[in-house]
Structure formats: C-alpha cells, structure tokens
Amino acid sequence: MSLPPASGKRHFQTQLPAGTDAETDLIEEIPIAISYGDITHGIMMLTPTDLDDFLVGFSLSEGIIRRAADLLDWTLTSTHTPDGLPAYLLDATLSARRQAQYRNRQRQMLGASGCGLCGSASLESAFVPLKPLQPAPILPREQLSQLRDQLTQAQTLGPRVGAIHAAALIDPQGNLLACREDIGRHNALDKLIGHALRGEHSLTGHTLVMSSRCSVELVNKAVIAGASTLVNLAAPSTLAVDRARRYGLNLIHLARDNQPRFYSPAPT
C-alpha cells in the first residue's frame, strides 16, 4: 500500500534581529509510532516523506524482514501527541511466518535484562554477527571526488530548509540512482535502502553516500543491505571502522577538499 505524499517542510513566520518579519521553511520532525500487527515496536522521530521506503528499509535493518514481500500491507493514521502536536501511527502487516518470528523475538526481549546500550537488551543483541560482504571494487578517485556535488544536486529539501541529512545510491559506473532525505541520518539511509529493496535492486557493487558522520549503526545498515561501499562526508568513529573492516565494507571519508580517505579495507 502506498502512503500519502508529504512535503517534508512547513512554513513559519519568524523575526529577524532587526525586528523585521521574515518567512522561512523548516524541516518537519514528527513522531511516528510503528507497530507490526498488534505489537508496538517503537516511536521514531523523522521527516514524513517517503514513508513507504522508510518502513521497508527500517524493517530490514531491524531484522524483522528479509525482503520487501515480507511486508504485506501498511496503513498510516494521523493522530496527535498528548500535548496536541501532530503525530502518525504506522501499522504494518507481516507475513504469517515473519509475524510469528517477530512475536517470539519480542517475548524474549521482554524477559531479558537491559544493559543500557542504546535500548538493546544485551551486547549480543546490539552486535549481532552479520554476513560478510564479498570484496568489491571502489570507484576511481576522480569519481569519488564528485560525490559531494552529486549528493548536493540530488537533494530537494536540503537547499530549501537545511538541517537535514541525505543518502544517495551510486551504481558501479558512478551514476546517481536515487536520493532520500530526513532529519535523522539513520532514517535517510533506511529510506534509501527501502527504495532499493522495494525495487528488488541488489546493492552489490553499489556505493552509499551519506551527508553525515559515520557511526557504527550506519555501517551495520549498509552491511545488512548488502552494499559494497559507504562514503561519508564526515569522519567515521573507531567502532565504525572496526565493524566495516570485520565485514568487508569499503569505508571512505570524503573530506572537505573532496579527497577520499580510505579506512576500510585496512591499508596494507
């Protein structure tokens, strides 16, 4: 089911320091409560654009589905927070097999004692072993140096509102295939991954480009999706580099001078 389109921005009246009024567009940030069947998974704060793609990519990253067909249907309902702010309820219907597996997993999580690691019940659940990627070539330096401009030109919300992250998909020849934007960098990547998954587009040999710094969560999402290369416009964390090297993800920081810095695979 396709969800209704949204602009991702809202118009506001503001006042400049000199006391004059001005008009501006701001990026939308809305709480969306996600549930699978009758089980509430959690609340995400995101920009309400490309929610179809987000739901598929998020569900894959969370290990709830393995392919887009595991999600049979979904509905979006407008609601409000207790203090009257806009919010959404996003309810997804899984295949019978996936729903049973999800219900069993949630029961196990309820019985576990938390360690306080970003909501995960244990180190084992936070650092699940992933399937290693097959080695894949990296784009030539001259093409890598163009990725910043490609990402900027592909954005529709960024030039108008700022304060937004973007993720782009680049094919093995260096062509930009898609771009997704969101106030959260994780959400932007989930939207892009969901777009590829819904189109049954393999990410093997492809490059993901992110406007943000590179945290370990972005590395995990890229590996789970099967992408070969992750390029970020800000530096990675130590854990992101370690995780990328462990699972064979090409990890690159494209510095402000557009010169790539290669973190994974490890230099020899």
Catalytic residues: 115
The pairing of beta strand 39-46 with beta strand 165-170? unpaired
Q: How far is 165 from 54, CA to CA, in rounded Å?
A: 14
